[in-house]
Amino acid sequence: MPLLASLFLLAALPWGDTSRLGRPFAKDPSVIRFGGRYLLYYSIPSFGDGRPKDGWAIGIAESKNLRDWTKVGEVVAETDYENKGVAAPFAKVIDGEVHLFYQTYGNGPKDAICHARSKDGLKFARNPTNPVFHPTGAWNSGRAIDAEVFRHDGKWYLMAATRDPGMKVQMLTGAVSSGGFDRSEWKQLGDGSLLKPELPWEQDCIEAPSVVVRGKQLVMFYAGAYNNAPQQVGVALSRDGVQWKRLSQQPFLPVGKPGSWNSSESGHPGVFVDEDGKTYLFFQGNDDNGKTWKLDFVEVKWKGNRPQLVAR
């Protein structure tokens, strides 16, 4: 690795939004390159001071180097179906516009995936058919959170997390569209979970799918276990978006060692492939069991279609 790149990685610091609580708090990262800069979309909590229409929202920060971030905007609840808040953004640049997929917040089994689009990455127009997706079937509660959208074999795939009818076990669901992103376009993938927790470290939760398309191979980074349980990041592979096979029985990105900034969690992955082909895995973490939340990244190299962490 060139010396400059090595220094750049070593200089990368965890970052959190202090604008709402006065302490770092940013979760659920999604990064794009748009308009000559990097944009980071993330979840921010309610102010908690009793103000009207106070709820979770989506923060937006910009950077020139992926390391130094400045907050430049927010996406806040605007509609009746968003009345308790919005969260867990996934951003993707499509045909010169930023498409944002996100979840409603605080509605338990009624939370669902929504869609909006923007010409500048800051101001978003809602899809009039929102919410655009939630799963059906006796195997799930109807909940949908943590959206991820990717193009594969000429179709759009949407992956999300749902829960069992008892709202205890979190697992993955999905949908496919041959056209656009309206509610009527999405058709559910199968009648069962696409991936559910089975390994000891995954405990009762798999969520936050984040997919890289490498030719015919789909590589999904996912979060295992609930927040601070600790949540860690795993990897699964697929050819069709339906059948997924874990790359390892162990976490790909484990929780940090005692004393590190992410000793309580390394969770909710958001993978970003830059214009030069370099891959960065953003994730959330903290060292205080969730009083604060910060975001950071690690670089990922590829051996064929198998991801490998770059030592920092």
pLDDT digits 0-9 by tens, 17-42: 999 999 999 999 999 999 999 999 99
pLDDT at 4: 32
Pairing of strands 70-75, 265-273: unpaired
Question: With 50 as the cut, is the pLDDT of residue 164 above it?
Answer: yes
Vertex 209: Cα angle to 123 and 224 (nearest 5): 130
Q: Which domain CATH number covers 53?
A: 2.115.10.20
Q: What is the mean pLDDT of residues 276-281?
A: 97
pLDDT digits 0-9 by tens, 208-265: 999 999 999 999 999 999 999 999 999 999 999 999 999 999 999 999 999 999 999 9
Number of domains observed in the structure of the chain: 1
pLDDT at 311: 81
pLDDT at 187: 98
The residue range of the domain holding 192 is 3-309
pLDDT digits 0-9 by tens, 63-98: 999 999 999 999 999 999 999 999 999 999 999 999
C-alpha to C-alpha distance for 80 and 61, rounded to whole angstroms = 26
pLDDT at 9: 35
CB 58 within 8 A of CB 46: no
